[in-house]
Amino acid sequence: MDLLDKINSPQDLKKIDRSQLPRLADEIRSTIVEVVSQTGGHLASSLGAVELAIAIHYVFDTPADKVIWDVGHQAYAHKLLTGRRDVFSTLRQHGGISGFTKRNESAYDAFTTGHSSTSISAGLGIACAKKLKAEKSKVIAVIGDGSMTAGLAYEAMNQAGDTHKDKDLIVILNDNDMSISKNVGAISSLLSRTFSAGKLQTWRKEFGEFLKSLPKIGNNVYQLAKRSEESFKAFVTPGMLFEAFNFDYFGPIDGHNLSHLIYILNNIKQLEEPVLLHVTTTKGKGYRQAEKNPTYFHGVGCFDIDTGTCRPRAPGSAPSYTEVFGKTMVELGRNDPRIIAVTAAMPEGTGLTEFAAKFPERFFDVGIAEQHGVTFAAGMATEGFRPVVAIYSTFLQRAYDQIIHDVCIENLPVVFAVDRGGLVGEDGPTHHGQFDLSYLRALPNMVVMAPRDENELRRMLLTAVLYDGPIALRYPRGKAEGVTPDEEIRPLEIGKGQVMTHGDDLVIFAVGRMVSEALEAARLLRKDGLGATVVDCRFVKPLDRELITGLAEKIPNILTVEENTLHGGFGSAILELLSDCEIRYNRLRRMGLPDMFVEHGSQDVLRTKYGLTAASIAAEAAAMLSPGKNACPLKMAGVTSRSS
C-alpha cells in the first residue's frame, strides 16, 4: 500500500506519476474490500467508481472545485483520497465516518447525500451561487444510471439546459447498467444503445471510402460529412437525449481507463457551460465475487473475502421481517388475483423476488421513482386491484404528496408495506425510518399498524389487502421474533389492540417491535415487586379507544413506547386520545426517539443509547413509580413526561 499510504489529500495524489495511477487503483480496491468485509457497506458501487474518483481529484482543484456524489454509496475511494484513510476502518461504525458523503465530515464532501438523484439539482444550485459570487471554480455532479430513472434528475437538467446555459456545471453519468437491482425502463434501454468503438471505426472507414468515391469532393462537403458522422454517433448513443437538454454530450467512454478519463476531463474543464460526460463502468470491478453478483454486493454485511460469503445465519434463527413479508405476499397472491406488488428499484431489498418470479404479470418495478410508483398504484386501485407498495420508510417520504393527493383524498385501497421502520443502523440519518408513524397518522382515511412479531405481520398483511381504503403496515429491519406462525392466516379487527400481561402499578402501551421489549421490561419489574399491564396496541391509527381509556382510568400511571420520533408519533396519539376523552391520570411518560436526526451505528448500540431496550423501559417505569418522584422530564435521550 505504499502509494495510498502517501496520500492524505488530493494535492498528494497530483504528485503521483500517471503511470502509477492504475497501481493506486488496485491498492484502493484492496483497502475497500478489506474494510467492508469487516464493517459491511456499499461495496460493488464503490469498486466500480475507483478510477473515476482518482481522475476527478487528479484533474480538478478540490475542495475549491465542488464534487457531488449522487447517493454517496459510490464514494469510498473519494473518502480514501480526501484525508480519511487513517479512519476508514471506522466506516459506518458508531462514532466513525459515514457510509455516505456528509458536509460536516469533510470539506471535500460538497453535499450531504443518502437518497438518489439529487446531485444535478444541488450542483446547479451551487453553480448558480458561484456565478453570483463571481467565483470561477468548477462543479461536478457524479450520478449513476440508476439515479437517472428518477424525475428529479430531469427536472434539474431541464432548468440547467434552458435558463442556465452559461453555468459551469459538469455532470458525469456513471453508467454500470444497474442501480441496486437491474435497471428497468426506457431510459435504461436508451443508455444501453451504444456502438462499440470497433463498430464506429468500421462505419467511419466505410463512410470515408464512400466520400472519396465522389467526384470533385471539396472541403466543405467533407466537413459537412464529418458533422454528419458526429450526428450519427449522437443518434445511436444516448447523446440525443442529453443534447435535447442543451448539454454538451461526450461519450460513452471507458470509466476504467485512467489515461483517457484524465485526458477527457482536462478538456471538458475548459468549457463554461452544462456538460455531460458519459462513462461506462463495471459494478464490483476488481473483486470477482462482486462482479459476478453486484446486486448481492450492493449493500452487504460482513463477509469472507476469499469466498464472498456472508456470515451464515445461526441454525434455527428467525427469518427477517422482509423475508416473512415476501413469503406471505406469495401465499396471499396465490389465492387473490387482485394483489399487485409494486416496488421502486428494490425487488430484492423488499423481499419481492419470489413474488416477481411466480406472478410476473402482477409485479411492477417502477425504477427509482417512488412518487410515480404511488400514483401508479392508485391508478390500479381504481380498477379493482389491491396494489401493495413495498418501499423503505425513508424512501416513502419522497412520495408524501402522492400519498395525500392520489391515494388518501380518494380513499383508494392501496397498501403501503413500510419496510425498515425505526432505526436501521449503520446507514444513519438518511436511512432511519424514524418519522413514518408521525407522517402517516396525520393523513385522513389512512390506517396505520405495526406488528409485534412475524405472525402478526402476516395477519396485518391479509388485513390490509382486504381493507377498502389506504392502509400501512410498518415493520423493522432485521430478524423477526422467532414465533411459530399460525397455519391459517386470520385478519385482525381494525383498530383493536391486545392486552399481553396484567399488572396494577402501571400500564405500558407499546407498538411494533417495542412490544417485546415492554414484555421483557414487565418481567424485570416483577422481580422488584412492581406489576405492569402491557398492551400491544397494534394500531397507531385508529387507536383502540375503549381499551386505552378503560385502562387509563383504572391504572393512572402510563408509559408509551415506540421506535419513532416522539413528535407527533404513537405516544402523542395516546395523549391526544386521553385529552379528548378528558381522562385524568397521575403520570404519563413517552419513550421514543428525540427531536433530532439519529446518527449511524448498529441497531443495538442506538437502541441502548436512546433508551429503547427492556432495561431502559423497566428503569423508566421504576423511576416513574418511585415515591416523591417529580414529574419533570428525564434528561435521558428519548424520554418525555407529563402529569395531569
Active-site positions read 283, 370, 398
Position 620, amino acid: E
Nearest by Cα to 183 from 271, 330, 283, 308: 283
Q: Could you tell me the three cell numbers for 236?
A: 445511436
Q: How far is CA 138 from CA 15, 56, 131, 269, 560, in A?
A: 21, 11, 10, 8, 51
- Strand, coil or helix: what is 643? strand
Give, for 68, the enclosing helix (H) or strand (E): strand 66-69
B/e letters for 581-603, b = 16+ CB within 10 Å, e = fewer, are eebebebbbbbbbbeeebebbeb
Nearest by Cα to 93 from 612, 616, 627, 603: 603
Nearest by Cα to 426 from 550, 602, 559: 602
* Structural contact between residues 361 and 392, judged by C-beta atoms closer than 8 angstroms: no
Q: How far is CA 1 from CA 34, 85, 574, in A?
A: 12, 11, 58
DSSP string for residues in 155-202: HHHHHHHHTTTTS-EEEEEEE-SBSSSB--SHHHHHHT----HHHHHH
* Structural contact between residues 207 and 229, judged by C-beta atoms closer than 8 angstroms: yes
* Structural contact between residues 285 and 254, judged by C-beta atoms closer than 8 angstroms: no
Count the Cβ atoms, other than its own, within 10 Å of residue 301: 12
Give the separation between CA 480 and CA 503, rounded to whole angstroms. 27
Q: How far is CA 526 from CA 505, 522, 591, 621, 623, in A?
A: 10, 6, 20, 12, 14
* Structural contact between residues 176 and 282, judged by C-beta atoms closer than 8 angstroms: yes
Give the separation between CA 26 and CA 42, rounded to whole angstroms. 18
- Enumerate residues 6+ apart whose C-beta is below 8 A from 503: 522, 525, 526, 530, 531, 532, 533, 534
Give the separation between CA 474 and CA 38, rounded to whole angstroms. 30
Give the separation between CA 208 and CA 468, rounded to whole angstroms. 67
Q: Could you tell me the three cell numbers for 151?
A: 424525475
Give the separation between CA 370 and CA 532, rounded to whole angstroms. 42
DSSP string for residues in 366-377: --S-HHHHHHHH
Give, for 188, the enclosing helix (H) or strand (E): helix 186-191
Give the separation between CA 644 and CA 583, rounded to whole angstroms. 9
* Structural contact between residues 351 and 323, judged by C-beta atoms closer than 8 angstroms: yes
